[in-house]
Amino acid sequence: MNIPFLFFLSGVSGLIYETVWFRMLIRVFGTTIEATSTALAVFMGGLALGAWLAGRKSDAVRNPLRCYAWIELSVGCLAAGATILMINLPELMAGLLPAGAGAGAALGRGALRVAIAGAVLLPPTVLMGATLPLLTGYLARGPREAGGELSKLYALNTFGAVAGVLLAGFLLIGHLGETASVFAGAAINMLIALRIFAARPQETSAAEPEAAPEPAEGDKSGYRKLAWILALSGFSALGLEVLWSRLLILAMGNSVYAFSAMLGMYLAGIALGSLYAVRRPPPVDAPFEALARAQALASALALAGFCAFWLIGRNTVDIKYLYTPLAQASDVLALFGWSALIILPVTLVMGFFFPIAVGAGVKLSGRVGGSVGSLYAANTLGAIAGALGLGFILIPELGTKFSFIFTAVLTALTGAMLAWMGGEAVKRRYSAWIALPVIAALAAFLVPDPVFSIIERRIMRNRPGEIMFHAEDKAGAVTVCFAEKGAAQYLYINGFVVSGNGPAGALMAHFPLLFQQDPKEMFVIGLGAGSALRSGIMHRAHVDVAELVPAVAEAGPLFTPLWGELLKRNKFTVILNDGRNELLRTKKIYDAIVVDVTPPIYSSGAVNVYSRDFFRLARKRLSAGGVLSLWIPKPCFESDYFMILKSLKAEFHFVNVWSFPKNPGFLALGSNTELDMSPKTLEARIKRGRSRLDIPEVSAEFIAAHRLMNTDNVLADTAAYPEVTDDKPYTEFPLARFLAFSPVWQ
């Protein structure tokens, strides 16, 4: 029976779960860095806890293989159960989330997130974390063999993780949906368990384990030092992943395929490095020199990749797949190419480092399962600290450039610690290796900030003007540019043009309010350049704006000169939260809800406001005559447009669609009362809202002339298309339409 292959399959299912569960929890908690970090910390914390608990008990388990089979069976059952529970979490959370904007309410929401995420994720993730120390203890006859067996298991499990993330990101979710993808992963776990049960495994390993001597006090001290070093290496490894995702979004875009390619390449490097550790392990009795060199090399390669990214990124100015990532087959290859260039060399070394370091720890302690579990837990806890520390503290305070240099230098310092553990001869030889990261760090220090440099270069090539504002915060990089010629103003997030002072934002707000007698309250998802906010105030409505990126709100006064005065007079409120999550949290009723999310339509997370489930939530937050205003940006596949409209019609009795000259998109209004389009009424409301100040050409005739579809048209034209739902997020996964040569609307 091929145990490593079964562990490969376990890796496949684990990454399918992680991918789907994060999508589900984000819909409940929101897409803020606090919410996503909570989900990540609980998930990885479960793995660490499971590894530690299993490590303490695994050496005493009489039948480890059968125990492993029961764990896999339990993981499959718990994963299916957790997924069913998460489907119903939004309704549950709506009744539990504390209202209010104060510190107490925020603290209560944070505590509830941790409690809910823990209740859902900890049972399966604790069991998943227990598998590596358990199997290593089963396959290794003693401490001297532990490093080789661990390397093999770790490599194959990580190869399985690569397959899982690519299957989930490129195939399963887009075709089967989220729930069916999880059930496919659960079926894998159950098949693993059945295969082992059918084999009737022996109660012990194939050969009796060798007796392990009681470790000396010095060995115990070295073991503790190595645990701290592994924690620091985990910090830098996941910290670099966070930083790479911040950088590569500038080159790869924000699609789910870009993230899947990046994570897949990250994991592939680790798997290949672990496999190399199996084939070319360092001497069992002297691993510290190889480990120290690996950390120095990883640091130097990370910094060299940073410099290469700046150089290539500045000269790759017109990247169309940022907005249309599947325009041609080479675009998909480009997603993997960027990751291979920047990430793969570093993670190859990381993959070599981890199993060899854990093997050294096993030799120091004299225990197999216990040491593997404890060291794996230390590395994972360090990784959690890295993700949280980079996202919450280092990037907002230092920016991406200096956070990257800090994290890479920390990697080199862990190499110095390992060289110190290796003795005087190793320290002398390491002094030559440390020159590599020192030179690379100096080069990275001299390189201009790649985030600002690349964004500035693209702006000046495409829309020359003066950059009025640039800031990096925990949610992204925000840039404001005022055009050199004319009065155009643009807002960029992570290098994407997301908004401006053109008429589109004003149309999104004026139209739903023109069809209401006396609108009092309006909710806007996405502040952007503030056009919808200003237009709502012109109708004398109070406006709540949900904005995910704090720096966008910071740049607000540049677009709205009377920002401070309007805020003082309580004309609007900016809520730093994910828009869907805010609607889930609030009990407030609105006369209009305006949805203007960051383009493109298939950017990661955008489907959360294009699904029938979201439209149902919005309907519940609207007054009896309320109107949902939805902007559907171009470019998009023709089928995406019709799927979204069908989903909107499923929740609203009336759907009308407009298309306007020189505006790249469609405006859809959903309502449960028929819109009053009589010329006399519309002209009176246009005057009331001073709409011609924003849109000089607006009139009753203009509104009638540019209506593209009414409710009957929508019903007829969308009949052949499926609905977009949270479970079937078709618009975020356009690969099938691309392969089928579906028409694209530019």
Residues 356 and 459 in one domain: no
- Tell me which of 93 and 562 has the higher pLDDT: 562
**CATH number, domain at 86?**
1.20.1250.20
Is the residue at 211 inside a domain?
no
Q: Does position 476 have pLDDT exceeding 50, yes or no? A: yes
**Structure-token match 């994720």, residue found:** 121
Q: What is the pLDDT of residues 391-445, one digit of tens each?
A: 888 988 999 999 999 999 999 999 999 999 988 888 888 888 999 999 999 999 9
Cα-based distances in Å from 451 to 319, 398, 400, 708, 727: 15, 13, 7, 40, 35
When divided into structural domains, the chain yields a total of 4
Residue 119 pLDDT > 90: no
Strand partners, 482: 466, 489
> What is the structure's pLDDT at 204?
41
Q: What is the CATH number of the domain that holds 673?
A: 3.40.50.150
Q: Are residues 253 and 141 in the same domain?
A: no
β-pair partners for 477: 472
Q: Is pLDDT of 105 > 90?
A: no
pLDDT digits (tens, 9 = 90+) for 498-530: 888 888 888 999 999 999 989 999 999 999 999
Q: Is 330 found in the same domain as 267?
A: yes
Examine residue 146 and state whether it is found in any structural domain, yes or no. yes
What are the residues facing 592 on neighbouring strands?
522, 627
Tell me what the mean pLDDT of segment 699-704 comes to: 92
pLDDT of residue 321: 54
Model confidence at 706, pLDDT cuts 50, 70, 90, reads: very high
Judge if 491 and 505 occupy the same domain: no
Q: Return the higher-pLDDT residue of 602 and 166.
A: 166
Span 553-572, average pLDDT: 89
Determine what percent of the chain is predicted with pLDDT higher than 70.
91
CATH no. for residue 340?
A: 1.20.1250
**Residue 420 and residue 287 in one domain:** yes
Classify residue 489 as left (phi > 0), alpha (psi -120 to 50) or beta: beta
How sure is the predictor about 561, in pLDDT bands with cuts at 50, 70 and 90? confident
Clarify whether residues 342 and 421 are in a common domain. Answer: yes
Mean pLDDT score of the chain, rounded to an integer? 88
Convert the pLDDT of each residue in 193-249 to its tens digit. Answer: 999 999 865 544 444 555 545 544 447 888 999 999 999 999 999 999 999 998 988
Judge whether 212 lies within some domain. Answer: no
Residue 100 belongs to some domain of the structure? no
Q: Same structural domain for residues 563 and 660? A: yes
My answer on whether 183 and 225 are in the same domain is: no
pLDDT at 318: 58
Q: Which amino acid is at 491?
A: L
pLDDT at 145: 60
Amino acid 61: pLDDT = 80
Using pLDDT thresholds of 50, 70 and 90, give the confidence band for residue 479.
very high
Would you say residue 81 lies in a domain? yes
Q: So what's the pLDDT on residue 269?
A: 96
Is the same domain home to 78 and 181?
A: yes
Asked whether residue 195 is domain-assigned, the answer is yes
Distance CA 524, CA 530 (A): 10
Residues 374 and 350 in one domain: yes
Residue at 670 is within a domain: yes
CA distance 377 to 358: 11
Q: Is residue 78's pLDDT more than 90?
A: yes
Q: Which domain holds residue 485?
A: 450-496
Question: Does the N-terminal peptide bond of residue 635 adopt cis geometry, omega within 30 degrees of 0?
Answer: yes
518 with 403, same domain? no
CA angle, residues 85, 130, 191, in degrees to nearest 5: 65
pLDDT tens-place string over residues 650-696: 999 999 999 988 888 999 999 999 999 999 999 999 888 887 877 88
pTM for this entry: 0.91
| Within a domain: 87 | yes
454: Cβ–Cβ under 8 A, 6 or more apart, which residues? 250, 251, 310, 313, 314, 495
Last residue of a domain, one of 448, 467, 482: 448
How large is the average pLDDT for residues 50-69? 85
Higher pLDDT pick, 343 / 359: 343
Same domain for 457 and 438, yes or no, is: no
